[in-house]
Amino acid sequence: MNLRSAARRVAKADGEQPTLRVEITPKTMVVAVLIAGGVWVSLQLAPVLLVLIVALFLVGTLNPVVQWLEEKGIKRGIGVAAVFVSILIILLGVLALTIPPLIEQVKSLVQQEPALRARLVDTLSQSKATAPLADSIRRLDYGVVARASAATALEYSRRSVEISAYLISAFFLALYMMIDRVRLRGALYAVVPRTHHIRLSRVLLNLEIIVGGYIRGQVLTCALMGVFTFVLLTLCGVKSALAIGVLAGIADVLPYIGPLISVGSAAAAATPQGAVIVAVVLGAMLAYEELESRILVPRIYGNVLKLPSSVVLFALLAGGTLMGITGALLALPVAAALRMVIEELRVDLPGEDIDDHRVRAGDARAEREYERRAEGVPATDAAAIAVEISEKRADAEGEQGPQSDAPSRKDLETK
């Protein structure tokens, strides 16, 4: 800075206009090209990356179950096989429970369509405001509608087959990752400097907790939706209430589209019971959807993922806006993972004034213990040591409270 100031003073003394030169070094150019190439490759491989993310979600969700079976004396390979076979049986059972009744219900609705349309037209014709709509429904030609929507239906069918193929690939990828977990973990730790192994093990452990909590939250909200739909339709005397309840529970996983499927299927199932029952079912389902989106989802995911309710709603909106349904599905675990990584890296956020020197001292002790035990040990064994140290520390914090020798963040916030 002194040389530049001197140069400016000399230039001014000589009457020359100072100039600003920007020089791009070859290293900067190489880094820019690599970043641009990485972004381009990531965009091209977006479906593959999504398959990998789904597989990691499955691994993070199912690995605690497999570890529990290992603690009971069952070998890991047998435990992995048992868990995945159980999932397949559950999926086949759900499909067998829902698909045949739904097909029968659709056939029944098609057969009843003339009578239902005539009843709807009569109801709408009684009011001058809805009379034009009644005339439109009376003149509706399903052949024209079917021909107009044929291309859209074909595209949706193609996308459904493609998504199904990706899901099957993610399922088997997760299976292979869980079977070969030790070698994969050793390969990951081999490319990371040993000075960061403890921190890496903490991050991976917390990611598994976050993913498991997110999936448990999804299961809870889906179960509540399914039970509510089943009870509502049963009380209204609707046939196939169990099948529609299961369908509504499964559809609840999907943001934006899920409510349309659950509410629409429930209202369609109640159509043979008359307009009053349809109105009751429609109103109750819409009320529950509002209750779930405004109260249940922020509270359930906020407690599980340790996110404020406002952050949960904002993450869902941001994820859905950026990446649609996929973004909305991944928004909450990604937000929780970012928060966790910031905490694990001991980054002081603006506005936070927390004395965490004892936490950092605990990190230093863990790293010294790891260096002592992992000296001269292969990467696979070193990874197991790092995970063991991190798990012991997490268990101690869980039993005695976070950093028992120091005030926790919750304590500091309440003071």
Residue range 55-73: mean pLDDT, rounded: 84
CA distance 90 to 245: 16
How far apart (Å, rounded) are the C-alpha atoms in residues 355 and 361? 12
Residue 33: the pLDDT is 83
Lowest-confidence region among 36-50, 225-239, 288-302, 343-357: 343-357
pLDDT (0 to 100) of residue 412: 28
317's CB contacts (< 8 A; 6+ apart) are none
Mean pLDDT, to the nearest integer, of 237-241? 81
Q: Residue 165 is which amino acid?
A: A
Q: How far apart are alpha carbons 84 and 168 in whole angstroms? A: 12
Cβ–Cβ contacts within 10 Å for residue 125, how many? 15
φ, ψ dihedrals at 185, nearest 5° = -65, -40
Categorise residue 401: left if φ over 0, alpha if ψ from -120 to 50, beta otherwise: left
Q: To which residue do tokens 């009870």 refer?
A: 231
Determine contact, residues 192/76, Cβ cutoff 8 Å: no
Mean pLDDT calculated for residue range 397-402: 54
Reported as a single tens digit per residue, the pLDDT across 342-370 is 777 766 656 555 556 777 777 778 878 88
The pLDDT, as a whole number, for residue 57 is: 82
How does residue 228 score in pLDDT terms, banded at 50, 70 and 90?
A: very high
Q: Which secondary-structure segment (H or E) carries 298?
A: helix 297-305
**Measured over all CA atoms, what is the biggest interatomic distance in the chain, rounded to whole angstroms?**
97
Q: Write out pLDDT tens, residues 4-30.
A: 555 455 455 555 555 656 667 777 777
What pLDDT score was predicted for residue 404? 39
CA distance 340 to 351: 17
pLDDT of residue 407: 36
Whole-number mean pLDDT of the chain? 76
Instruction: Report pLDDT for 413.
Output: 34
Q: What is the pLDDT of residues 92-117, one digit of tens each?
A: 887 787 778 767 766 776 676 677 67
3-state DSSP assignment of residue 315 = helix
Give per-residue burial for 259-270: e unless 16+ CB within 10 Å, then b: beebbebbbbbb
DSSP calls for 127-195: STTTHHHHHHHHT--HHHHHHHTHHHHHHHHHHHHHHHHHHHHHHHHHHHHHHTHHHHHHHHHHTS-GG
CA distance 410 to 415: 9
pLDDT in tens, 266-311: 887 887 787 888 889 999 999 998 888 888 877 777 666 777 777 7
Average pLDDT of span 379-398: 77
Decide: residue 17, CB within 10 A, 0-12 exposed, 13-18 middle, 19+ buried.
exposed
pLDDT at 284: 92
How far apart are alpha carbons 266 and 247 in whole angstroms? 9
Distances (CA, A) of 224 to 218, 227, 228, 238, 289: 10, 5, 6, 19, 11
**Which of the pair, 56 or 24, is modelled with greater confidence?**
56
| CA 170 distance to own-chain centroid | 15
pLDDT greater than 60 at residue 215: yes
Dihedral of alpha carbons 229, 235, 236, 241, sign: positive
Q: Which two tokens stand for residue 50?
A: 């999504």
Distance (Å, whole) CA 167 – CA 180: 20
Residue 163 has a pLDDT of 77
Are 223 and 230 in contact, with CB atoms under 8 Å apart? no
pLDDT tens readout for residues 158-214 = 777 777 888 888 888 888 888 888 788 888 888 888 888 888 888 888 888 788 778
State the helix-helix crossing angle for 275-291 and 257-269, rounded to 10 degrees: 160
The pLDDT of 330-343, averaged and rounded, is: 80
Give me the pLDDT at residue 1, please: 46
Tokens of 405: 């020798």
